[in-house]
Amino acid sequence: MIGGQGVAPVLEIQGLEKTYRSRRHGVRRALDGFDMVVEEGEVHGFLGPNGSGKTTTLRTLLGLIRANGGRMAIFGEEVPAALPRVIGRIGAIVESPQFFPHFTAYDTLSLLAEAGGVPQRRVGEVLDLVGLAERARDRVKSYSLGMKQRLAVASALLKEPQLLILDEPANGLDPAGIREMRTLLRNLADSGMTVVLSSHILAEIQLICDSVTIISKGRRVAAGPVAEVLARHSGSGLRVRLEAVTDLPVAAEVLTQAGARVTVHTDHLMVESAEKPAWVTRTLAARNLYVSELTPVTADLESVFLELTETASIPGQASQSAQSVAVSTTSGTGGRGA
């Protein structure tokens, strides 16, 4: 465990830095002190716009890229030094699945199993699990992108991993395939596997994941359980309309004085930080202001994501701790940088 006590998280990244230097493009900071924590048994969404550092993070974590700074640990062991020891417990796919096109799916997995010392019986099991058993003897070049994705997931599952890291596993899948993938991941999580899932399909992340980390420009901008991240961002709250529109400014002042965060719109108020809807009704009624509509408004992950990543700090101008928002998880971690 990095700098803490108690049960080590399955995955922990602290202050990760990666800088690329080239004569053509100069210096580019791909990761700028990035933090991430994933607890055991979670399905953890890893979100960020293109080029934000998601794949760099995963590649660095898995020893494919050398970090310039920071610390990483998997199962409490520092990586990349301990990677050869812990890799047997990790299944991973990074970016688009790429396989030798002239090999069959069976051969592809069989060779990986042999290289990793995994029993050959697992090959059939995982092909069955991802629904490729019938096409196992076909060459990979005849596969659709969705089938290649499923093969990639199968390769990651071969080792019966305790930590599954999937980079955009839903790419190329049709709606039915996405649903199958969602069910598969949920089943895996229910069996006790920890899953880190990077995806652009935010609705999927919202459906599947227990917690999220949002990265932008190489920095963490939000982290925590999905529900809490949603609650904290993008104007989730109550939409309040009054009988008389002219009373809106007065009502806003009353609620603000009572401790709520209020935004005044032309025909309604948005109230955040209210304890309960009834509290709003009671507070306003006490001042003879009568509510005509009281609607809870929930933000979706997409709007939160867009808000956070569009307003992300410019590297070098503010510290991550000032920008990132971490919400305490039920197990009490994830508060770093808040």
Partner 1 sequence: MSLYKAELRRLSKRRVTTYMGLLGLLVLAAVAVGTFFSNQKIGPAHIAAAEREAEQVYQEQLEYTQYERRLCEEAQRAGTPSDGKDRFPPDCSSIEPPKREDFRPEWYLPETFEFRTDFPQAIIGWALILAMVAFIVGASFVGAEWSSGGMTNLLLWRPQRIQVLLAKLGALVTGLVGASVLTGLAWFGTFWLIAMTRGSTEGVTAGVWRSLLLTGLRGVVIVLAAGVVGFALAALGRNTALALGGVIAALLVGQVGLSIALAIAQVEFAEKWLVSTYVLAWLNKKVTLENWTSCTQTVTGTCEPARLEIVWQQAGVLMAAVVLITLGAALWLMRRRDVT
Choose among 226, 220, 303: nearest CA to 52: 220
- 3-state SS assignment for residue 284: helix
In the complex, least distance from residue 53 CB atom to partner 1, rounded to whole angstroms:
13
Cα gap 196→212, rounded to integer Å: 9
Say what the alpha-carbon torsion angle 299, 303, 307, 312 is, to the nearest 10 degrees. 120
- 3-state SS assignment for residue 229: helix
In the complex, least distance from residue 111 CB atom to partner 1, rounded to whole angstroms:
5
Q: Binding to partner 1 (CB under 8 A): which residues in 61-120?
A: 62-66, 80, 83-84, 87, 92-94, 96-103, 107, 111-112, 114-117
Residue with tokens 């007065």: 250
Position among 14, 52, 155, 283 found at the interface with partner 1 (CB under 8 A): 155
In the complex, least distance from residue 265 CB atom to partner 1, rounded to whole angstroms:
47
- On whether the CB atoms of residues 109 and 126 are closer than 8 A, the answer is yes
In the complex, least distance from residue 177 CB atom to partner 1, rounded to whole angstroms:
21
Distance between start and end Cα atoms, the chain? 19
Binding flag, residue 234, partner 1 (CB under 8 A): no
In the complex, least distance from residue 38 CB atom to partner 1, rounded to whole angstroms:
18
In the complex, least distance from residue 98 CB atom to partner 1, rounded to whole angstroms:
2
Q: CA geometry: angle at 222 spanning 220 and 223, to 5°?
A: 100
Cα gap 291→288, rounded to integer Å: 10
Choose among 129, 305, 298: nearest CA to 201: 305
Q: Binding to partner 1 (CB under 8 A): which residues in 117-136?
A: 117
In the complex, least distance from residue 26 CB atom to partner 1, rounded to whole angstroms:
17
Residue 197: what are its φ and ψ, rounded to 5°? -125, 115
Binding flag, residue 25, partner 1 (CB under 8 A): no
What is the number of other CB atoms lying within 10 angstroms of the CB of residue 44? Answer: 26
Q: Binding to partner 1 (CB under 8 A): which residues in 159-218?
A: 159
Residue with tokens 């990639």: 152
Binding flag, residue 145, partner 1 (CB under 8 A): no
Toward partner 1, which CB reaches closer, 166 or 223?
Answer: 166
Toward partner 1, which CB reaches closer, 159 or 336?
Answer: 159
Size of the site for partner 1 (CB under 8 A): 30
In the complex, least distance from residue 115 CB atom to partner 1, rounded to whole angstroms:
4
Binding flag, residue 290, partner 1 (CB under 8 A): no
Q: Does the bond joining 80 to the residue before it have cis omega, within 30 degrees of 0?
A: yes
Binding flag, residue 141, partner 1 (CB under 8 A): no
Residue 267: what are its φ and ψ, rounded to 5°? -125, 5
Toward partner 1, which CB reaches closer, 85 or 282?
Answer: 85
Toward partner 1, which CB reaches closer, 87 or 201?
Answer: 87
- Contact positions vs partner 1 (CB under 8 A): 59, 62-66, 80, 83-84, 87, 92-94, 96-103, 107, 111-112, 114-117, 155, 159
